[in-house]
Structure formats: C-alpha cells, structure tokens
Amino acid sequence: MSTIVFCAANKTALTSTRRCVFSHVKGLVGPGELQSPLASLTPLPGSRWLPRGSCVRFMSQGTAGGGSAAGRSRRAAAALSGAAAVTAAAAVAGLLANRKHFQRAEMATKVPQPAVGKEEEEVDILERCRSFMSEPVTDVGVLQERKAEMCTRMEMLIMETQAEFCRALQEVDGGTFKVDQWRRKEGGGGISCVMQDGKVFEKAGVNVSVVSGYLTEEAAKQMRSRGKVLKGKDGKLPFCAMGVSSVIHPKNPNIPTVHFNYRYFEIEEEDGSKQWWFGGGTDLTPVYVNEEDGYHFHNTLKEACDKHHSQYYPDFKKWCDRYFYIRHRGETRGIGGIFFDDLDSPSQEEAFNFVKSCARTVVPCYLPIVYKHLNDSFTEEDKDWQQVRRGRYVEFNLVYDRGVKFGLATPGSRIESILMSLPLTARWEYMHEPAKGSREARMLEVLRNPKEWV
C-alpha cells in the first residue's frame, strides 16, 4: 500500500487548500437553513463528506507491506483521531484502511470550522451564527456585546457542535433534521434538532439549551449533595446553564448508539461572586462488542484529553465507567468513553479549551464507525437483542441520569427535549439471559467487567 500524507502542520499546503476551497464558496447559509455552507463544492469522485480532519491521507487498496494487522489498525485509528485538532474550513480527511473493515474512503468537509484561540474573539459573531442550524437562543446583539464572556463563548461552541454533528449525520443518512426552537418563560430556551425514521438512524437528536433563572430548592439540594457550598440572597440563587446534548439510535444493530453532552453552569451568590464549572463527556453503547471500534473511539478521546493533561483520559474513563453503571443490573450502559463534572480548574480558560477539544471529537470518533457498518447485514435475532439493550438504556436514563433528574426538577423545562434521549422502540423480556458462548453473552461480559481499550 502506498501512503501519502499532507499534515495540517504544513502551512503552505494548508493555505493552498483553504484558497482552493474558498474559491468555490458562494456564500454562507442563513439561520435555519439546513444545507451546508459549502454545498457548492464538488466532492472527490467516489467520496463521502465528513467534517474536520487532520491530514489529507490517500491510501491505495491492497495489503500494506510490513507491520502487523493490529499495528495497521492502531496507526489508522491514530491518524483519524488527530482530526479534532484541525480547524481549517476545508481540511480533507481520508478515513482509514484497515484489513476487512475500515475501507478506502476519501472525505472532505462541508462544514465551516469554528475559530479557536485569539481568532475566536476576532471573528464576527453574526458571521459565525450563519452556519448554525438556527439563530442562537441569546439575541445576536447581546452576544456581540458580551463576546468575551464565558457564557457567550460557550453558547457559540455548543451551537457550532450541534450544527457540525447534525450535518455529518444528514450526510450519511440522507434525511433532514426537524429544527424546533423553544422558549422558556423563566429565561432562555433551546434548539432541538431531531431526525426520526431515517434510512440509517431510527432516532437522532442533537439539543442545545441555554437557560437562566433561579435554582429551585430541589435543584439546589442536588448541587449541595455534590459538595457545592451555595449562599443565595433571600433564598434565591440566580443561575445560567447551557449545553449541547445528543443521543443517536441507529437502525442497524451493528452501528452503536452514541451519546455526548458538554455543558457550563454558573451561579451568582449573595455577595455577587460567581461559581462556575464545566461538565460532560462522550460514550459509546454498542449492541455487539467490536474491538476495533472500541479502540478507535477511545483512542480519539484519549488524544483530545492528552493535549491538556496526561491524567485526564484515565481518570475520566474510570469516571465514565462508574457513572454509566446500572446498579440494579450490575452492568455498565455501554463500553464507556469519558465523563467529568464540576470541572473548575486549573483556570476557566484552560477548562474551556479542554471542553472545546472534547466537543470537536464527536464527529471523528463516531462517524467512521457508522460508515464502517453501514451495509452490515443483520438478523431478526440481532434486532431482538438490540431492543433488549435499548431497554437497559432507558432504565439508566430514567433511574440514574443526573441531567434528566435536573431537567425534570427545573421549572419550565421542555419535557420533549429532556426525554429525546429515549429510543423509539425498546424491549423488556422476563428473565432474559443470552446463551453461553454467544455474541450476546460476550457483550454482556464486557458490560459486567469494563475493559481498557487503549
């Protein structure tokens, strides 16, 4: 196999790529338009589109000379997982060539990439809003005035994450997201993007919420139970909270369910000081265990974490295994990923940059797995097992998930958006136990004994 790699670090090549792509751009879409801002671009012959990639990597078909198959798998997954670091609007990525599974595919982006670092403050807010699925929750004029504040920067990040992920899913499914804007009389609102009964996805939801008001006593009690010392004025605690949350339930049992959520919380105390923290994570829930998928998914997240702290991935991976645990079943919800909460160090800027890196992995850690299994065959028995596993997913979300509990305890919350995470269909069989030695039993063994994937 011959391999040519042009890394994004090559400024000359990257600049040339930008010029080439932007010379075709006819204009940015307006708020609420669903087509990609780069819809006028013509893809490479036989290619698919996928947002964000770190390298242009073309791989010829055939067997690579030298190295084990496992080594080729690791190198291929590592090449793709670096995708989260790139922010060029026209970065082009090849997926991976991996013996029988990750087939040759050339991918380029149709989604404008968000600015980072100092560029983030220099790019006009209105210009960035034009790539969103709808106009933002907060008035654009207010965002312009407060562009340096963390609430504005986080709202822009979650809107961009929603738009990028939705368009990547539309590209593979061929369907269209219903964009549903809602307002909350107590303050704020959200944008729910849902696609149901698509060709690939039975139910795909990507929600953004930006809410404000006063914490209820029940919500404040939940905060205090997590060690928060909250001192309100006259019993009131003003807060603002925002986040992006997504759950994707595919039709094919060989394509895993994925969930991610990244959020920011800010509370003002009686003396005017503010407490703030970030939380979130990304996790995978397959119906059947697949070693290569698990490695790719976890390695992509690990690389994003390692850019900020070497201990983030191992710590947050363990936290994920502990959090997404169905205690009454004695098993995890899926094969995990990363999860963290109450992140308020080492500084607000560094915590935000970490969350930004994580948010930018949601496409490269999941879409290659979707494409890999897109045409896999399955049986009625496979579908039955998928329905049983979805039942476990529902049990966790309704019994244990802290976000669902907080949402249901917050006045004015939109129930449809909170329960968007539930699948269209699920199944509960009495005393269900898979046959020994079966693929189902192997999956259950992994869920009962979480493993290290990287």
The residue among 30 and 222 whose pLDDT is bigger is: 222
CB atoms within 10 A of CB 432: 12
- Which residues, 6+ apart, have CB-to-CB distance to 387 below 8 Å? 425, 426, 427
pLDDT on residue 413: 75
38 DSSP assignment: T
Q: What is the mean pLDDT of the chain?
A: 77
- State how far the Cα of 237 lies from the Cα of 223, in Å rounded to an integer: 11
φ/ψ (deg, to 5) at 84: -65, -20
- Paired strand residues for 208: 191, 244
Angle between helices 348-359 and 150-173 (to 10 degrees): 10
| Average pLDDT estimate for 424-432 | 93
Q: What is the largest CA-CA distance in the chain?
A: 72
- Measured CA distances, 19 to 16, 22, 81, 387, 434 (Å): 5, 5, 25, 48, 56
Q: What six digits make up the tokens of 203?
A: 């139910």
- Measured CA distances, 21 to 26, 46, 68, 92, 386 (Å): 11, 18, 37, 10, 41
Query: How big is the chain, counted in residues?
Result: 454
The residue among 444 and 50 whose pLDDT is bigger is: 444
- State how far the Cα of 134 lies from the Cα of 347, in Å rounded to an integer: 31
- pLDDT tens digits, one per residue of 86-102: 333 333 333 333 333 33
* 209 within 8 A of 182, measured Cβ to Cβ: no
- State how far the Cα of 44 lies from the Cα of 399, in Å rounded to an integer: 47
CB atoms within 10 A of CB 337: 29
Using only C-alpha atoms, what is the Rg of the chain?
22
pLDDT on residue 287: 98
pLDDT above 90 for 132: yes
What's the pTM? 0.72
- State how far the Cα of 349 lies from the Cα of 149, in Å rounded to an integer: 11
> What order do you get walking across the sheet with 238-250 strand by strand?
178-183, 188-196, 201-214, 238-250, 257-268, 274-285, 336-343
- State how far the Cα of 102 lies from the Cα of 157, in Å rounded to an integer: 30
- Paired strand residues for 435: none
| Average pLDDT estimate for 200-217 | 90
Best CA proximity match to 168, nearest among 369, 417, 309, 428: 369
Calculate what percentage of the chain has a pLDDT beyond 70: 69
* 3 within 8 A of 57, measured Cβ to Cβ: yes
Split at pLDDT 50, 70, 90, the class of 385 is very high
φ/ψ (deg, to 5) at 255: -100, 125
The residue among 82 and 142 whose pLDDT is bigger is: 142
- Which residues, 6+ apart, have CB-to-CB distance to 381 below 8 Å? none
| Average pLDDT estimate for 367-393 | 97
pLDDT above 80 for 58: no
CB atoms within 10 A of CB 398: 14
Virtual torsion, Cα 402, 162, 359, 274, nearest 10 deg: -60
pLDDT on residue 226: 67
- pLDDT tens digits, one per residue of 334-369: 999 999 999 999 999 999 999 999 999 999 999 999
| Average pLDDT estimate for 212-226 | 72
pLDDT on residue 180: 93
Best CA proximity match to 203, nearest among 424, 434, 399: 424
Q: Which residue among the candidates 259, 296, 298, 373 is catalytic per the annotation?
A: 259
| Average pLDDT estimate for 122-129 | 83
Residue type, 94: G
Residue written as token pair 């964009």: 179
- State how far the Cα of 119 lies from the Cα of 102, in Å rounded to an integer: 35
- Measured CA distances, 381 to 164, 386, 435, 446 (Å): 34, 9, 12, 20
CB atoms within 10 A of CB 399: 12
- pLDDT tens digits, one per residue of 254-312: 999 999 999 999 988 777 778 899 999 999 999 999 999 999 999 999 999 999 999 99
Split at pLDDT 50, 70, 90, the class of 49 is very low
263 DSSP assignment: E
Say whether 373 is catalytic: no
pLDDT on residue 411: 75
